[in-house]
Amino acid sequence: MKVNTQLVERLADLAKLEFDEEARKDIEQDLAKIIGFVDKLSEVDTEGVAPLVHVNEDVNILREDQAKRELTREQALKNAPVKDSDYIKVPKVLKKT
């Protein structure tokens, strides 16, 4: 794949990115290096190598859910910036329509 100004501008348009001429040149060089690296990887003989799904052999190491009280109400409210007697107050994020 040939990396040129048109390719970088097209990718920038698709990604909704804007940058100046100097940054475009840097991105063009970086993209060329990345594609060169990927092309180099295609030269590696992978015949007989099974696809890697997980890095290690551990599978779903889970624990039982146990409800327990880790903090008291006072500890939980101690560092809250805005609080009521029993609750942490947060700003509204949803508007009624």
Block means of pLDDT (10 residues each) for the chain, 97 residues, are 89 93 93 92 87 80 86 87 88 81
What is the distance of C-alpha 94 from the center of its chain? 26
Q: How far is CA 1 from CA 29, 37, 39, 60, 72, in A?
A: 13, 12, 9, 40, 60
Contact in structure between 18 and 12 (CB atoms under 8 Å): yes
Q: Domains plus CATH for the chain? A: 5-41 (1.10.20)
pTM attached to this predicted model: 0.48
pLDDT of residue 57: 79
